[in-house]
């Protein structure tokens, strides 16, 4: 993670802007966020199998990122905004947390020991609470940015709409958990569904649906 | 005598209970989410025409989807109705959280407070959207350098601003910092019947217009006539008074004339030359040394004159004036004197932004501040 942080800082300096503007850069940021969230979590919950799963996901994502063009390219006019940095950073910190939450939920679903299941369940709830705050901040900063660039904070663009769908899924998770006491399998499945929505919002929308975020597919 | 009948709740009380229930809220959210998914997968609004152009066989299917309100989901009455239902359930939840805030203390109170703020924030955001829908305006205007306008076009038709604005200057900036030269410039050539053509101002390049051969012979960046020698010279290397010497050769007319970028209505014959008659062509060096940047565009900006003076706007830096906000939105790479603005009046924005702020505060209280305070209390 240290090497990756140094790499991102060097790329930031070389580009003269935050390295958060295309698929390669955002995947690198996602891996960074994923690892950061896990490392912070590790202070309280040490689960080797979750560490291994996180490392595997990070390695696979980095390998996939390497298939994209890594050349630093200048930003198009609409992306030249400080809101880009805040918006993408907050979103990806949320995505990283949701990824750890989904891994933890999958761990819950396959685990057989009750104490391990309990730890996975707690981690799922904590990571989703963290991710939800940052996803919300990401959607809000995106809306403020859109308002300063295009004069509309919400235009039902596919990316925006799928972010909202993801937000709904996790809002349902949090309500079910804290208002109805949902734990265990049901909560784990919502968490997995939420992360599937994250993946579609981040990756699927770029390639399957057109909209204001179409530049993100490059 | 004691009665055994169980007191029944009134309809309004049961309706409020329903609106406050998590099950109901989840159902409403699920329907909205399903509608959102459909809205991103099915062609919406203007996309329908584009889709039909590519898939003409789908006309009947699109008509059916249109009748069902599925080609304009986000503007449909039923979707807006679902949002109203979401607002209603959120409002009831907020009220109940408020009573919890009043009744409880400590952890439960703070949690209810954070939750209440988050729910109120949703109401504020939806209210801001309603304000925009009722009192907002959104359209666009396009004009050229020098033009004055107060008209803009919205989806419902043309509208007029309560003030005028003039486009003083429009510029496209590239990442490539190379200064434009006369070779990047253009000059306009017109005939009496108003047909016209843009020609390159590149020195030495022979170009054709109807039966005429036109060549730019010379470029002077800072044109002046030496009063002593009467020779034409350049005062400096800066393009302060750019001029080109153009040779026009046609079957019945030949001429060598100086054209000036800053004085488009004025031209003068070259020293020692005499036109062969009245010019059938009107030549204007309209260049102002404008060109598209060689590489990617960094930004584009306009300088406009408003009643309060000169103001600049560019991408991501809108201009606010008279209750309207102007957003730099477009240009024509073939005509860099032209630009377009989005014109927006949205009195709901402060309400929406208040909702955004409140939501972050509420979530922070629920997920961080409250657990942290509780943890600290338990440790103490």
Contacts with B314 from chain A: Cβ below 8 Å: 77
pTM for the whole structure? 0.80
Q: How many residues does chain B have?
A: 380
**Higher-pLDDT residue of A169, B377:** A169
Please answer yes or no on whether B33 and A74 come within 8 Å at the CB atom.
no
- Chain B residue with minimum CA distance to A131: B367
User: Do residues B328 and B301 touch, judged by C-beta distance below 8 A?
Assistant: yes
Residue contact A140–B325, C-beta within 8 A = no
Among partner residues B22, B39, B299, which is closest to A180 by beta-carbon distance?
B22
pLDDT at B243: 84
> How would residue A215 be classed by pLDDT, with cut points 50, 70 and 90?
very low
Question: Which of A140, A151, A175 is facing B318, going by the closest CB pair?
Answer: A151
Q: Cβ–Cβ of A74/B298 closer than 8 Å? A: yes
The reply to whether A133 touches chain B by the CB within 8 Å rule is yes
The pLDDT tens digits of the residues spanning B147-174 come to 899 999 998 899 999 999 999 888 888 8
Q: Where are the alpha helices (DSSP H) in chain B?
A: 11-20, 22-41, 47-54, 59-67, 77-103, 106-135, 349-364, 370-379
Residue A159's contacts (CB-CB under 8 Å, 6 or more residues apart) are A201, A205, A206, A209, A211, A212, A213, A216
pLDDT digits (tens, 9 = 90+) for B30-86: 999 999 999 998 888 888 888 888 888 888 888 888 888 888 899 899 999 999 999
CA dihedral of A39, A41, A46, A52, whole degrees rounded to 10: -50
User: Which of the residue ranges A45-59, A99-113, B30-44, B270-284 would you say has the lowest mean pLDDT?
Assistant: B270-284
pLDDT over 90 (residue A10): yes
Contacts of B299 in chain A (CB under 8 A): 77, 80
Query: What is the distance between the terminal CA atoms of chain B, rounded to a whole angstrom?
Result: 55
Residue B188 has pLDDT above 70, yes or no: no
Residues of A in contact with B348 (CB under 8 A): none
Of A148, A158, A205, the CB nearest to B316: A148
Residue with tokens 């979707």: B79
For residue A167, give how far its alpha carbon lies from the nearest alpha carbon of chain B (Å).
Answer: 10
What's residue B139's pLDDT? 94
Task: Count the neighbouring beta carbons within 10 Å of the beta carbon of residue B231.
Answer: 10
For residue B16, CA distances in Å to A41, B11, B96 come to 40, 9, 10
pLDDT for B79 equals 92
Is residue B344 classed exposed, middle or buried when 0-12, 13-18 and 19+ CB atoms within 10 A define those classes?
buried
**Taking the domains of chain B in order of start, what are their residue ranges?**
9-99, 104-135+355-380, 138-176+294-345, 182-284
Contact of A186 with chain B, judged by CB distance below 8 Å, is answered with no
For the stretch B110-151, pLDDT in tens is 888 998 999 999 999 999 999 998 999 999 999 888 889 999
Average pLDDT, chain B: 85
> B202 vs chain A: nearest CA distance in angstroms?
29
Count of A–B CB contacts within 8 Å?
99
Q: Which chain B residue is nearest to residue A128, measuring alpha carbons? A: B367
Chain B environment of A143 (Cβ under 8 Å): 352, 356
Q: Which residues contact B240 (CB under 8 A, 6 or more apart)?
A: B221, B222
């Amino acid at each position: 993670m240290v090497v990756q942080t140094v790499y991102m800082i060097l790329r930031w300096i070389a580009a003269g802007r935050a390295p958060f503007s295309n698929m390669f850069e955002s995947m690198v940021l996602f891996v960074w966020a994923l690892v950061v969230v896990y490392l912070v979590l590790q202070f309280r919950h040490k689960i080797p199998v979750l560490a291994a799963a996180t490392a595997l996901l990070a390695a696979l994502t980095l390998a996939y990122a390497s298939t994209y063009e890594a050349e630093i390219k200048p930003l198009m006019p609409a992306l030249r905004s400080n809101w880009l940095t805040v918006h993408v950073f907050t979103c990806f910190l949320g995505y990283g947390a949701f990824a750890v939450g989904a891994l933890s939920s999958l761990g819950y679903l396959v685990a057989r020991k009750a104490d391990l299941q309990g730890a996975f369940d707690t981690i799922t709830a904590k990571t989703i609470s963290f991710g939800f705050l940052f996803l919300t901040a990401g959607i809000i900063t995106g809306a403020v940015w859109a308002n300063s660039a295009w004069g509309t904070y919400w235009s039902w663009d596919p990316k925006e709409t799928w972010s909202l769908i993801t937000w709904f899924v996790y809002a349902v998770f949090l309500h079910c958990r804290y208002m109805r006491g949902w734990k265990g399998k049901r909560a784990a499945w919502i968490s997995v569904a939420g992360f599937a929505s994250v993946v579609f919002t981040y990756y699927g929308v770029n390639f399957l649906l057109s909209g204001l975020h179409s530049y993100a597919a490059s | 005598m004691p009665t055994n009948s169980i007191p029944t709740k009134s309809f309004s009380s049961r309706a409020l209970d329903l609106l406050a229930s998590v099950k109901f809220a989840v159902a409403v959210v699920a329907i909205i989410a399903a509608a959102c998914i459909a809205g991103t997968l099915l062609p919406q609004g203007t996309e329908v025409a584009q889709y039909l152009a590519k898939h003409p066989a789908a006309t009947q299917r699109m008509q059916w989807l249109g009748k069902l309100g599925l080609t304009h989901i986000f503007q449909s009455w039923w979707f807006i109705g679902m949002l109203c239902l979401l607002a209603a359930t959120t409002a009831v939840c907020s009220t109940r959280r408020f009573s919890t805030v009043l009744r409880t203390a400590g952890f439960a109170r703070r949690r209810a407070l954070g939750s209440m703020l988050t729910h109120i924030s949703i109401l504020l955001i939806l209210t801001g959207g309603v304000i925009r829908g009722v009192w907002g305006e959104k359209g666009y205007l396009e004009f050229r350098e020098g033009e004055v306008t107060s008209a803009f076009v919205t989806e419902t038709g043309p509208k007029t601003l309560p003030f005028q604005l003039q486009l003083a200057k429009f510029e496209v900036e590239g990442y490539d910092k190379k200064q434009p030269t006369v070779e990047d410039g253009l000059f306009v050539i017109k005939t009496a019947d108003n047909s016209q053509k843009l020609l390159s101002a590149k020195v030495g390049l022979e170009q054709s217009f109807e039966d005429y051969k036109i060549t730019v012979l010379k470029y002077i960046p800072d044109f002046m006539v030496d009063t002593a020698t009467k020779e034409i010279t350049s005062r400096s290397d800066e393009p302060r008074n750019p001029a080109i010497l153009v040779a026009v050769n046609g079957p019945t007319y030949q001429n060598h004339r100086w054209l000036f970028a800053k004085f488009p209505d004025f031209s003068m014959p070259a020293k020692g030359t005499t036109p062969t008659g009245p010019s059938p062509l009107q030549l204007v060096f309209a260049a102002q040394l404008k060109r598209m940047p060689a590489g990617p565009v960094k930004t584009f900006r306009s300088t406009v004159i408003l009643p309060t003076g000169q103001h600049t706007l560019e991408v991501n830096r809108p201009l606010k004036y008279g209750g309207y906000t102007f957003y730099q939105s477009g240009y024509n790479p073939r005509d860099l004197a032209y630009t377009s603005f989005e014109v927006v009046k949205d009195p709901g924005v402060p309400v929406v932004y208040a909702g955004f702020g409140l939501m972050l505060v509420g979530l922070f209280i629920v997920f961080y501040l409250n657990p942290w305070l509780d943890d600290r209390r338990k440790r103490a």
